[in-house]
Structure 1
Amino acid sequence: MRATTPPWAVSIAVVVMFVQAFSGPLIVGLLMQDGRGLLAQTLSALTVTLVSIALVFAVRRFLGRQSWQGVRLTWSWSALWQALAGVLIGAVAVVTAKAYAVALFLTDWVPWWETARDALPYLPLALAIPVLNQAFPEELLWRGHVYDTLSARLPTRVVVITVAGVFGALHVFSQGGADTLLEKLLYIVTATALGLACTVARMRSGAVWMAVGVHGGFHIGLRLTLTQEAGFGAQLALMAGALVLAAWVVDMVYRARPHREPVPVPVPGETV
């Protein structure tokens, strides 16, 4: 199918990413007068996830004639542990980078009571919003659909570079508070490093859940450990380095795991 060739697959994914990102605020904005409250943000994030599932399914079913199983959105206990491990990896990378920035006197912590005190009763919901709004839908699209599609036609190393690179480059449209040209470039580098860590997690775990966890853990770490805006560029550089290191650690851990040969299943009447 033409839609499964690398240029078309990536181009379609870019369109889908923008459609799903704007779907939540648009739909909630049409249904609710105030789109800034916690309820509106939650509904918007949930809408983005649902639209993402529908769009990825439609692209695979009608454009690529691909099985849904290829996105590797498997449901099992191992998926739960992979997701939790990913959250830990992403959060630790962010917290470590910020701690280094503070230790180097590049910035300082924001006292939690100045920002999080009023949000404590709604903290689980506040942490779920970035997962539903960004982590899950973006990972389903890029590390689920696009990774699977490109893997059928390109070498693994090329797939990893392409998926991480395009994902990072798209963040030129989302600068996250970057002001100077250097900060904007570092923001893209950090997004690319996040894409690399998520792609390696998808490649080594064989499913999309660890990638969702890494992406979600990254945003959770950002929200739980707030720092001053001073030294923003340095913080981005440190986070990018921490994410690349995280990708390397995930790769090494899975490489070090002993390879288990499949256990033969006895056939009645035969000896094994």
Structure 2
Amino acid sequence: MRPTHPVWAVLITIVAMLAQVIIGTAPVVLLLDRDNVLYRPLGMIGITLASLGLVYLIRRLGRQPWRGVGLTGSWRAPLHLLLGVVQATALGFACAAARARTGALWAAVGVHTGSHLANMLLPTRDIAYGVQLVIVTGTLCVTGLLILSGRRRDGTAATDGTARTTAPSLFRR
């Protein structure tokens, strides 16, 4: 069987998923108490870094180009690199705004998934790559601001600094 066979792809994905959680959280679990304020954020950062490292290793071991991951743009110019970082920050802002507005993680997952689907349906072009990065970054910032300008389901403003501690009425008994 070739490594690209669906059975191998599923097995590699499962092993990578378990490895990223175990490797990513191990330092935090070993070094910090559960009550520490940094316990959860550092664990999430560890999982993210482990995920990126595993994707890099899997791509390198398979000698596959990054085009398969969706990175088809020209990243040669320093301005493009800077705009890429700003775009990632804008995506994080839009996801955080969705989370702050709804109080649910799935809204942020939806914003993140929508961004990646848009990149697949409207692929980047090398012709005006910098312009496209600026447009996407601006769109993500405006989206985040529009999401924050609304009200939550429970009637409180999304930016009043309060966190919802109870589940929506749909999930209450």
Normalised to the residue count of structure 2, the TM-score between the two structures is 0.55
Q: Given residue 49 of structure 1, which amino acid in structure 2 is its aligned partner?
A: M
Deviation (angstroms), 1:44? 4.4
Contact 1:202 1:208 in 2 (8 A): yes
In the alignment, does 2:12 pair up with 1:49?
no
In the alignment, does 2:22 pair up with 1:63?
no
> Measured at CA, do residues 199 and 59 of structure 1 come closer, stay the same or move farther in structure 2, by a change above 3 Å?
farther
> Measured at CA, do residues 63 and 249 of structure 1 come closer, stay the same or move farther in structure 2, by a change above 3 Å?
farther
Partner of 2:115: 218
Deviation (angstroms), 1:215? 1.6
1:254 is paired with a residue whose SS is coil
Partner of 1:228: 125
Partner of 2:161: none
Partner of 1:246: 143
Contact 2:25 2:44 in 1 (8 A): no
Contact 2:102 2:153 in 1 (8 A): no
Distance in 2 between residues matched to 1:220 and 1:38, nearest whole Å: 24
- The alignment yields a C-alpha RMSD, in angstroms, of 3.5
> Measured at CA, do residues 41 and 254 of structure 1 come closer, stay the same or move farther in structure 2, by a change above 3 Å?
farther
Identity within the alignment, %:
31
Normalised to the residue count of structure 1, the TM-score between the two structures is 0.38
> Measured at CA, do residues 188 and 45 of structure 1 come closer, stay the same or move farther in structure 2, by a change above 3 Å?
farther
Contact 1:193 1:243 in 2 (8 A): yes
Contact 1:198 1:212 in 2 (8 A): yes
Q: How many residues align?
A: 127
> Measured at CA, do residues 239 and 212 of structure 1 come closer, stay the same or move farther in structure 2, by a change above 3 Å?
same
In the alignment, does 2:38 pair up with 1:141?
no
Contact 1:60 1:66 in 2 (8 A): no
Structure 1 segment 77-226 matched on structure 2, within 5 A: 141=44, 176=71, 177=73, 178-226=75-123
Partner of 2:66: none
Distance in 1 between residues matched to 2:107 and 2:131, nearest whole Å: 27
Of Structure 1 and Structure 2, the greater helix share is in: 1
Distance in 1 between residues matched to 2:11 and 2:119, nearest whole Å: 22
> Measured at CA, do residues 225 and 238 of structure 1 come closer, stay the same or move farther in structure 2, by a change above 3 Å?
same
1:99-138 per-residue CA deviation (whole Å, 9 max, x = no partner) reads: xxxxxxxxxxxxxxxxxxxxxxxxxxxxxxxxxxxxxxxx
Deviation (angstroms), 1:33? 6.3
Structure 2: stretches of 5+ with no match in the other structure: 49-70, 157-163, 167-173
